[in-house]
């Protein structure tokens, strides 16, 4: 019998309400937005916990790691304002006045705003109150409260968040707090013992143990082309509420942030996943120093050369028969890769001296770098190895750090998008455009844009492909486009 597993976001409900996992833009203070519609035809070092001792059973003694970690893992309660569609029945008072049998009519009331609570976990990383958690734990929060292991409660401020890695950084006003030191997730070995610490189902300070089951898992949680997924898979029991909690090694060092589970029921069924600290550290340092994540870009589309891929029609078309490395399917014009001399058809075999076999390996390696960094890449071209020094660029195609006011356009829009076929473009008499396939929480919803809307321009820039959204960094001032019936609608965005 086949079993279908679902990925569950580990954000537990508090006060009986759940919370959804949505990719959205986070700012510490969001300005009031007015929409006009026009219709026309490296972290600090810490002292390491001593090496674990073996107990009589032959297993490592995990008590020292557990006792030191639990003090620095917090419970986070998020309050979120959500719109709830109203509905109800009413009777006709005029019929009652004239003695007629009162009848009830179904009436859909205007949507109302409710405040809901949900919970998760977080990890204190500095004595002055910086806390790591998941983006989905803190997103869309109207308020955040943090409860320490000793029972003290603090209001938390969101410093920044990164939906592409599902990491967020919070700050509370406190001093002399216990912390969890960073460990090196790259050195984790399959079968190594780890501890998961968090607050599942509101059960504060829960500790479970397991082993590292796999590394570099890509779960395809979102269709964001810039997502970075290279999860640590463990069999340590985690459940809703563990989101943002600590995954530590036997020395009590932080090696991951617990994020999701794979389960047919929504509860733990043997599979849990954590974002490795090799990714977390860079994201947190960027959020703390720059206010945004400085994402470095190569500008290539690549696929892992596995036996399975090589047996497909696309794989056979490459002319490659031996597996190994990453096949570069295309190189973006003006990108870092093109400027360095890398070409479509090359096979990327090494990045900074590290062999590349899986797409997640390159994602994780790139996540450690910033725009304007230089990296060494080795490719195989027609059987010969070629070495390149590549100057990495930002998503706007420039070899410099982004300004803190730069935005993630996809996250701000809050939706999912798909390309338009050439036939549809000809029918609508447009040269470019992408279609809104789903409207989430963001500017699309605020402006009243519906599913099916075709975005042709943002801030006057033509949008030909979904990837064009990733290259925009300026605040959105205008959106132009049309609906499939040919009705053109333009939106002017004014930020007060």
Positions marked catalytic: 136, 166, 243
Q: Which of 322, 271, 333, 332 is nearest to 300 (CA)?
A: 332
Q: Measured in whole angstroms, how far is the alpha carbon of residue 460 from the centre of its chain?
A: 28
Q: What letter does residue 400 receive in the DSSP assignment? A: S
- The rounded distance, in Å, linking the Cα atoms of 296 and 305 is 23
- The rounded distance, in Å, linking the Cα atoms of 244 and 329 is 36
User: Where would I find the H helices in 386-442?
Assistant: 409-413, 422-428
- E strands of 231-281, at which residues? 231-234, 246-249, 254-263, 271-276
Q: What letter does residue 153 receive in the DSSP assignment? A: E
Q: Which of 74, 73, 51 is nearest to 61 (CA)?
A: 51
- The rounded distance, in Å, linking the Cα atoms of 196 and 258 is 7
Does residue 25 contact residue 411 with C-beta atoms inside 8 Å? Answer: yes
Does residue 73 contact residue 121 with C-beta atoms inside 8 Å? Answer: yes
Compute the radius of gyration of the chain from its Cα atoms. 25
Q: How far is CA 117 from CA 76, 81, 87, 259, 364, in A?
A: 10, 9, 23, 19, 33
């Amino acid at each position: 019998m086949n079993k279908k597993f679902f990925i569950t976001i580990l954000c537990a409900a508090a006060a009986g309400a759940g919370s959804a996992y949505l990719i959205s833009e986070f700012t510490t203070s969001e300005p009031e937005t007015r929409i006009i519609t026009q219709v026309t035809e490296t972290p600090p070092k810490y002292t390491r916990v001593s090496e674990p001792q073996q107990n009589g059973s032959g297993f490592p003694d995990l008590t020292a790691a557990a006792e030191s970690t639990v003090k620095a893992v917090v419970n986070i309660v998020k309050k979120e304002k959500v719109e709830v569609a109203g509905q109800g029945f009413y009777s006709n008072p005029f019929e009652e006045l004239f003695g007629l049998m009162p009848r009830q009519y179904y009436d859909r009331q205007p949507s109302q705003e409710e405040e809901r609570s949900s919970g998760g976990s977080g990890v204190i990383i500095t004595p002055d109150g910086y806390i790591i958690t998941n983006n989905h734990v803190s997103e869309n929060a109207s308020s955040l409260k943090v409860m320490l292991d000793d029972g003290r409660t603090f209001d938390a401020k969101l410093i920044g968040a990164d939906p592409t890695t599902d990491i967020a950084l919070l700050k509370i006003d406190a001093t002399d707090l216990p912390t969890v030191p960073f460990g090196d997730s790259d050195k984790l070995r399959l079968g190594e013992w780890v501890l998961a610490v968090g607050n599942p189902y509101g059960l504060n300070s829960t500790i479970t143990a397991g082993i590292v089951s796999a590394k570099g898992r890509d779960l395809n949680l979102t269709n964001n082309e810039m997502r970075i997924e290279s999860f640590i898979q463990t069999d340590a029991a985690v459940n809703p509420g563990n989101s943002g909690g600590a995954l530590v090694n036997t020395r009590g060092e932080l090696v991951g942030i617990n994020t999701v589970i794979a389960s047919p029921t929504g509860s733990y069924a043997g599979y849990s996943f954590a974002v490795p600290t090799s990714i977390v550290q860079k994201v947190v340092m960027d959020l703390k120093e720059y206010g945004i994540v400085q994402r470095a870009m190569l500008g290539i589309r690549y696929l892992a050369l596995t036996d399975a891929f090589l047996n497909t029609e696309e794989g056979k078309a490459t002319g490659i028969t031996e597996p190994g490395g990453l096949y570069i399917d295309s190189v973006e014009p003006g990108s870092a890769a093109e400027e360095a001399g890398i070409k479509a058809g090359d096979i990327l075999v090494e990045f900074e001296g590290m062999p590349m076999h899986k797409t997640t390996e390159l994602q994780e390696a790139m996540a450690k770098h910033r725009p304007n960094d230089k990296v060494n890449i080795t490719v195989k071209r027609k059987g010969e190895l070629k070495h390149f020094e590549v100057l990495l660029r930002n998503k706007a195609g420039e070899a410099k750090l982004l300004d803190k006011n730069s935005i993630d356009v996809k996250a701000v829009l809050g939706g999912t998008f798909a390309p338009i076929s050439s036939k549809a473009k000809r029918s609508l008499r447009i040269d470019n455009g992408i279609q809104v396939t789903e409207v989430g929480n963001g500017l699309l919803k605020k402006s009243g844009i519906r599913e099916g809307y075709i975005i042709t321009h943002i801030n006057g820039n033509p949008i030909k492909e979904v990837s064009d959204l990733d290259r925009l960094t300026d605040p959105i001032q205008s959106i132009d486009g049309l609906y499939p019936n040919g009705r053109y609608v333009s939106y002017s965005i004014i930020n007060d």
